[in-house]
């Protein structure tokens, strides 16, 4: 029985790979809809990019809902320096023909959580948490109906990637993250501590290109584009595929390991706004509120990515 998910995203090349992975894995994951949020690029582009990816995967039937265009209480910070002006720089892809769904993303999240059996819908959140926090704030009755929220965001031992203390997704809207982390919903968190171990390799990228499909060509080209930033920043031989880790957790959780801990979101710090303060050693005595993942079988992850993405077999054109 596949896990029903709502995929909340701000594509972004690695978001796009994560969505492709979900759509290539129908035995494990049933995508009920895609909700776009402002983050890596503004909302008009993330909503456009989500539809481009759906069409690339041969799923123009999948509803894509535009959501919140700004954080709850802050000015929007974007990441064109990483992802390019479009968010999906690296390859020219046709504009989407499929329209946006009429329902706002927040309303779609609320209606879906109320309409599906309680405990049957997982939220996969790979962008800022604005849409989910807004839904929880507006409809608190939906929180206990969530099966799990799998979040790509945060960092602790690996520290920050947009400030010395904060990872981008949490930094963009720390107030939203605090609301979600304090909600009582079951949380699994994929922080930089694990995603920085999910590094691409030149062999894997060329293997994607060698698939001879539009998806393979797109994934290779996207990776070529954003690798340049991470290689220069971290001195690594590859780039981390952050967001696919969140989907991979639903498909093959045995690839990952972590620890149940309490995580607090810093919203007021002069230098630490957006920091995910993980009580790794249990010194506060606070109850754990999430599974904080910090290890991955890198080779197993990339083997699965190759096998799944090869299923999306449109030839270039």
Strands (E), the chain: 3-9, 29-36, 64-66, 121-125, 146-152, 187-190, 256-261, 263-265, 276-278, 290-296
- Alpha carbons within 13 A on the beta-carbon side of 312: 28
Residue 23 · residue 31 · CB < 8 Å:
yes
Query: Hunting for tokens 């329209």 — which residue is that?
Result: 99
* Nearest in space to 215 (alpha carbons), one of 87, 315, 98: 315
Note the residue count of the chain: 317
How many C-beta atoms surround the C-beta of residue 92 within 10 A?
8
Place of tokens 């129908």: 26
DSSP code of residue 41? S
Catalytic residue among 65, 83, 196, 242: 242
Structure tokens at 118: 């309680």
> Which tokens sit at 244?
């696919």
Between CA 135 and CA 44 the distance in angstroms is 20
Task: Tell me if the bond preceding 12 is cis, omega within 30° of 0.
Answer: yes
User: Per the structure block, which two tokens stand in for 186?
Assistant: 């079951």
CB contact at 8 A, 291 and 257: no
Q: Tell me if residue 39 falls in helix, strand or coil.
A: coil
CA angle 32, 314, 23 (to 5 degrees): 20
Residue 242: active-site member: yes
Catalytic residues: 242
């Amino acid at each position: 029985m596949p896990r029903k998910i709502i995929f909340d995203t701000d594509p972004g090349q690695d978001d796009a790979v994560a969505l492709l992975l979900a759509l290539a894995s129908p035995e494990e994951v049933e995508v009920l809809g895609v909700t776009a949020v402002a983050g890596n690029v503004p909302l008009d582009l993330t909503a456009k990019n989500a539809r481009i990816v759906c069409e690339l995967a041969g799923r123009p039937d999948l509803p894509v809902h535009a959501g919140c265009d700004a954080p709850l209480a802050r000015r929007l910070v974007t990441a064109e320096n990483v992802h390019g002006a479009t968010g999906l720089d690296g390859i020219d892809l046709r504009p989407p023909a499929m329209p946006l769904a009429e329902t706002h993303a927040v309303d779609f999240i609320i209606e879906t959580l109320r309409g599906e059996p309680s405990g049957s819908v997982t939220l996969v959140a790979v962008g800022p948490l604005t849409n989910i926090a807004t839904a929880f704030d507006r409809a608190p009755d939906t929180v206990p109906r969530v099966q799990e929220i799998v979040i790509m965001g945060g960092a602790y031992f690996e520290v920050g990637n947009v400030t010395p203390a904060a990872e981008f997704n949490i930094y963009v809207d720390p107030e939203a993250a605090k609301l979600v982390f304090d909600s009582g919903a079951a949380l699994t968190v994929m922080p930089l501590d694990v995603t920085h171990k999910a590094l691409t390799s030149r062999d894997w990228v060329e293997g994607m290109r060698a698939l001879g499909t539009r998806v393979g060509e797109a994934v290779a080209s996207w990776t070529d584009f954003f690798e340049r930033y991470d290689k220069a920043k971290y001195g690594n031989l590859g780039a981390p595929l952050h967001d696919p880790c969140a989907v991979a957790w639903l498909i093959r959780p045995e690839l990952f390991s972590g620890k149940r801990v309490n995580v607090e979101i810093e919203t007021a710090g002069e230098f630490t706004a957006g920091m995910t303060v993980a009580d790794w050693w249990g010194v506060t005595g606070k109850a754990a509120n999430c599974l904080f993942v910090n290890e991955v079988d890198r080779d197993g992850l990339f083997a699965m990515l190759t096998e799944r993405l090869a299923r999306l077999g449109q030839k270039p054109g």
